[in-house]
Structure 1
């Protein structure tokens, strides 16, 4: 697994920018991002499947216009992960706090019982160890005994 892309939104009504690297601060998130303010959803992570879905722009769902992830991970299989697991991304260690993104009740896809990939292919983390994350960085999953079991 590796970091495929990074995104930041600096202002509430601002544009979403693609960046090559970012500093992720412990217990805050991506420095300079509007969501980098702490809490249990400090960093949003999506699979490359979600990124492709968003970039194609064919969906009529609300999230495609509203959602952006801070980190896109190529080769990420969310079904193999669980809340509380720790991931090594670049220089950082992050803990998974939420899996999946809630649908908006007013979304046409939700109303038609046809949720988009964001429902299952997104997760949120909090930063345990700060550091720089760059496009191309490897991503590893830590065992529960806090040892790195390598990149999968």
Structure 2
């Protein structure tokens, strides 16, 4: 499945902080070139499916520190399955996990509130290196 047209934002974290990119290089077995979070087995790339990123307003335990690499809009999480491959530019990623595990200490769990990270997060690995340039919308 090619998801290029659904990608709205791409981020990396380097020694200077978090930065949005218009283009990136995916490195097999690592993640996005220049990303300090890269190299984590099975979680090299973190994708978030939603028009709204969780923030500190929802008071979840992970909300403040959650920073996805890629934000995807206008596609349902139901389109994705574990072990599925997705194409981003010339790179190929493999989905390893859908949904982030929750902690019982989280106030959202305690208040029986559904956390968007439990359902709208995808963890993936780069199985073929490649390049991506963010989709350009025509005026």
Cα deviation, residue 81, structure 1: 1.8
Q: Distance in 1 between matches of 2:104 and 2:35?
A: 26
For the residue of structure 1 that corresponds to 2:53, the secondary structure is: helix
2:134 corresponding residue in structure 1: 135
Corresponding residue number in structure 1 for 2:71? 72
Q: Root-mean-square deviation (CA), in Å?
A: 1.8
Q: Whole-Å Cα distance in 2 between the matches of residues 69 and 127 of structure 1?
A: 15
Q: CA deviation at 1:38?
A: 4.4
* 1:61 match: secondary structure: coil
Using the alignment, how far apart are the partners of 2:36 and 2:106 within structure 1? Answer: 24
SS at match of 2:54: helix
Where in structure 1 are there 5+ consecutive unaligned residues? 138-152
| 1:47 corresponds to | 49
- Give the TM-score taking structure 1 as reference length: 0.78
In structure 1, the residue matched to 2:94 is 95
Superposed CA deviations along residues 91-138 of structure 1, whole A, max 9, x for unmatched, are 21111000001123322112212131111001011111111222227x
> Helix, strand or coil for the counterpart of 1:27?
coil
TM norm structure 2: 0.84
TM-superposed CA distance for 1:62, in Å, is: 2.3
| Distance (whole Å) between structure 2 residues aligned to residue 81 and residue 6 of structure 1 | 19
Aligned residues: 132
Q: SS in structure 2 opposite 1:65?
A: coil
8 Å CA contact 1:103, 1:119 repeated in 2? yes
How far apart are 1:6 and its partner, in Å? 0.5
